[in-house]
Amino acid sequence: MYAPVETVTVSYVIPSVDRAFELLERLADADQGLSLAEMTRQTGFPKSTVFRILATLEERQVVTLDAQTRTYHLGHRLWMLGHHFLERSDLYQSAAPIMQRLAETSGETVFLGKLEDGQVIYMRRIESPRSVAIVKKLGQRVPAHCTATGSAILAFMRPEEVEAVLEQHGLDAYNDATITDPAAFRRRLEETHARGYAVVDGEYNRELMCVSAPVFDHTGLPRASLTVAMPALHRPTPTRQAEVGRLVRTAALDLSHQLGFVGRR
């Protein structure tokens, strides 16, 4: 008799590899890097184990050690591996020309984002020559409920999947504009579904108003979204929001068709 899949999977986990990924995730969250002592304290792993894992990762250029501060940082090898992954993604490749056109027609910065484990990850960014530069770390996880990217995708997901995301991550407030009431959030998803794009004004980043539309795959399910980010300093009028909404919705549908979607959402 075969053991359950879950049992087999756990039994084959290599502790040292598992710990290496724990250390990398800690470094990913530390903008200023972490020392050996800090990582030992945060993880609870033996200091000698942490040191040996870091030495191995440093040898493979996965992490780097700042000689002056004695802090570890993520190395360029991770960027190379991630870049190779993206280059092989049909979504990433197909999105580039469509995003470029959207940036030019809207005059704003455009992002390609997806939902992973209930959080938004931005995969690609294209700046318009006329837009104000917006600093955002690609690959960084941000909440789904208070971003246009997340709202656009959630609005077209199955209700039980949306509830699972809310149960896992909640509706935390990032400022006084963030929607934290479940009923109000569900109303926003209904409005987004009805018009085909989401509008979120400063709920995560006070400086941005974002408009986002979902990108569907060949199964008709939302795989990602295209987002136009506008500086909130020059408050976009309702007319401007609707104009950008139409542009991003059309661009997202074009990208959906590239991925095999045959509908007309």
**Cα–Cα distance measured from residue 201 to residue 211, given in angstroms and rounded to the nearest whole number:** 9
Residues 133 and 194 grouped into a single domain? yes
211 in the same domain as 108: yes
What own/partner pairs with CB < 8 Å and gap ≥ 24 does 105-108 have? 105/247, 106/228, 106/244, 106/247, 106/248, 107/131, 108/228, 108/229, 108/230, 108/244
Task: Verify that 35 and 160 share a domain, yes or no.
Answer: no
pLDDT score at 49? 94
pLDDT category of residue 3 using cuts at 50, 70 and 90: very low
Residue 37: pLDDT over 90? yes
**95 and 255 in contact (C-beta within 8 Å)?**
yes
Residues 94 and 60 grouped into a single domain: no
Q: For the chain, give the percent of residues with pLDDT over 70.
A: 88
- Assigned domain for 45 exists: yes
Residues spanned by the domain of 241 = 89-258
Residues 234 and 152 in one domain: yes
Tell if the pTM clears 0.75, that is, is over it.
Answer: no
Closest CA to 120 of 81, 148, 157: 148
Q: How many domains in the chain?
A: 2
Taking all residues of the chain, what is their mean pLDDT, rounded to a whole number?
87
| pLDDT given at position 248 | 97
Contact between 216 and 262 (Cβ < 8 Å): no
Residue 154: inside a domain: yes
Contact predicate 196/213, CB 8 Å:
yes
pLDDT at 7: 44
With 80 as the cut, is the pLDDT of residue 133 above it? no
Q: Please indicate, yes or no, whether residues 112 and 227 belong to a single structural domain of this protein.
A: yes
Q: How confident is the model at residue 134 (pLDDT cuts 50, 70, 90)?
A: low
Give the three-class secondary structure for 231. strand
Rounded (10°) angle between helices 47-59 and 36-43? 120
Flag whether pLDDT at 1 surpasses 50: no
- The CATH code of the domain that includes 24 is 1.10.10.10
Measured distance CA(13)–CA(26) in Å, rounded: 20
What confidence score (pLDDT) does residue 117 get? 86
pLDDT in tens, 173-205: 999 989 999 999 999 999 999 999 999 998 998
Write out the DSSP string of 166-226.
HHHH----SSTTS---HHHHHHHHHHHHHHT-EEEESSS-TTEEEEEEEEE-TTSSEEEEE
Please report the DSSP string for 58-93 in residue order. HHTTSEEEETTTTEEEE-HHHHHHHHHHHHT-HHHH
Which class for 181: exposed (0-12), middle (13-18), buried (19 or more C-beta within 10 A)?
exposed
Q: What is the pLDDT of residue 263?
A: 72
Same domain, 29 and 121: no
pLDDT in tens, 211-254: 999 999 888 999 999 999 998 777 788 999 999 999 999 999 99
Tell me, yes or no, whether 265 lies in a domain.
Answer: no
Residues 111, 261 contacting (CB under 8 angstroms): no
Confidence band of 76 (pLDDT split at 50, 70, 90):
confident
Decide: helix, strand or coil at residue 141.
Answer: strand
Same domain, 75 and 122: no
Is 73:63 a contact under the CB 8 Å cutoff?
Answer: yes
pLDDT at site 135: 47
Q: Where are the alpha helices (DSSP H) in 111-158?
A: 148-154
* Residue 84, domain member (yes or no): no
- Cα 25 from Cα 162, distance rounded (Å): 26
Q: Are 91 and 259 in contact (CB under 8 A)?
A: yes
Provide the pLDDT confidence category of residue 56 given band limits of 50, 70 and 90. Answer: very high
pLDDT of 86 over the 60 cut: no
Single out the residue of 139, 36, 17 nearest to residue 78, CA to CA.
139
Confidence band (pLDDT; 50, 70, 90) for 130? Answer: low
Which pLDDT score, from 0 to 100, does residue 141 have?
83
Q: Does residue 263 lie within any of the structural domains?
A: no
Residue 6: pLDDT band with limits 50, 70, 90: very low
pLDDT band at 265 (very low <50, low <70, confident <90, very high): low
In the listed set 79, 100, 122, which residue is the last one of a domain according to the structure? 79
- Domain boundary (47, 79, 111) is at 79
pLDDT at 83: 60
